[in-house]
Amino acid sequence: MSVAEDIGQVGGGIGLLDRERTIAKAGFNRWLVPPAALCIHLCIGMAYGFSVFWLPLSQAIGITKPIACAADVSLIGSLFTTACDWKVADLGWMYTLFFVLLGSSAAIWGGWLERVGPRKAAFVSTLCWCGGLLVSALGVYTHQLWLMWLGSGVIGGIGLGLGYISPVSTLVKWFPDRRGMATGMAIMGFGGGAMIGSPLADMLMNYFKTPASVGVWQTFVAMAAIYFVFMMAGTFGYRVPPANWRPDGWIPPATQNAMITSGHVHLQNAHKTPQFWLIWAVLCLNVSAGIGVLGMASPMLQEIFAGKLIGQPEIGFAALDAGQKTQIATIAAAFVGLLSLFNIAGRFFWASLSDKLGRKLTYATFFGLGILLYALAPWAAHAGSLALFVGFFCIILSMYGGGFATVPAYLADMFGTQFVGAIHGRLLTAWSTAGIIGPVVVNYIREAQINAGVPRAQVYDRTMYILAGMLVFGFLCNLLVRPVAAKWFMKDAEVAALQKRSASVDATAHYGSYGIGKGGFDGTALLAWAVVGLPIAWGVWITLSKSLALFR
């Protein structure tokens, strides 16, 4: 039997979720894999949009206004109380759980994912994310905050980590000719999840709301059902290429880029190289700066521009009345939506551009341009130029998203594709670290400036300069990245043995397309892309409609 005929053949005892069952057969279209990845990422990306539930949950008992807890009720006490409403600050711990569990679960189970394949990992991710929403629904129904934390925070956080890294190594292998674009397409979905999920959740809560319920637990159940369908479609849409597969007619460049390795580094050795830790620092510093701003974007715009947002530039933030503050809060929400849109677009744009520029130069652009924009932001604020200020931060957030989408390709260039998913999982601990550093830097400096009597319009100046300084360190770390030393590469026999065990084909065969080719947008592919493209288009339309409020 030829290799082409053997592709996708499975023997007895192989389960539906096993890696061997996912090996693509001749005639498969590789352009079906990115929509499958987007089905997963668009669903788990709702983690970014969970704040839409905080206000309704803060009055889940009072319905029209919160029933405050006694002053002596601690955070631990609020986990179990049923007599009063939860504080927004207590609910906000969900974000910490999300991203700490995302990074740690990706690091812990990344090696397992490489062994069992993306389908089984995505299946577990689906059960964790959707099951976590159902546990959270029970927590809201019984008014037990600890169930919310356990459901979406812990169980859902594990699902986030597995779902986030599930398509990475698969897409890199399917698109060796366009690594950045491939990972950008999938990771774009994680940034877009909130853009779709937040307005959907708002619509569902309004639909389920009654005089006795704010409609949150019903919304959790409905979204769990919707997400389960989409994530299962993505799970069973995953396919992996056979060992030594290459797109039809594609030949690696004769003059190989020194920053793109032709070897493979084992997962056990990747973290022993200086390149791993330099790229870890690069991601951590890029994300720390961006996530700190993203978390404070709404109050930042309100405090800096205040009355100017409603056509009364002479009124400072402290002089605004309650009605005016409501008006500018609505406009600031549009600013947050616009930043989210650039975060999403940047993931695809910058990752695709990195295929032309190279990963190192792309990150150098992130840091160099970011330093300039952060340093100029206070000038734009003091000049009263809303358009420039918004434009600066839209570009900054595009590079924040671009950093996430470009790093898997950077890792594949450095360490090869054999273990890139697992290595990426370990690198995501940088995201968990940044999720603590960024908000702490921005929030505490802001508080210190306010306590020192600095006017609200100037409290972010020092923060911007510190964030620019952080990017200087990131620029230097990226500058130090060099090709991985040959001593870390696996021997050809070791790679062949691993591929043979995981692919059930002749891993010693010559490179070829095995009847799969480059693929294209045939009818099936167009339908698959429409399934994910229509929700994305709806989310973009909603976001742009709201963003118009910024410049009216």
Distance CA 74, CA 54 (A): 19
Angle formed at CA 85 by CA 82 and CA 91, multiple of 5 degrees: 105
Distance CA 359, CA 262 (A): 16
- Mean pLDDT across 301-315: 85
pLDDT of residue 438: 83
Distance CA 162, CA 20 (A): 19
Cβ neighbourhood burial of 469 (10 Å; 0-12, 13-18, 19+): middle
Give the contacts of 268 (CB within 8 A, at least 6 positions apart): none
pLDDT of residue 504: 42
* Global confidence as pTM: 0.86
pLDDT of residue 352: 93
CB 51 within 8 A of CB 152: no
pLDDT of residue 11: 43
pLDDT score of 57 more than 70: yes
pLDDT of residue 502: 54
85-121 tens-digit pLDDT: 888 778 878 887 888 899 899 999 999 998 899 999 9
Through-space distance between the first and last CA atoms of the chain, rounded to whole angstroms: 68
pLDDT of residue 509: 53
- Mean pLDDT across 10-26: 77
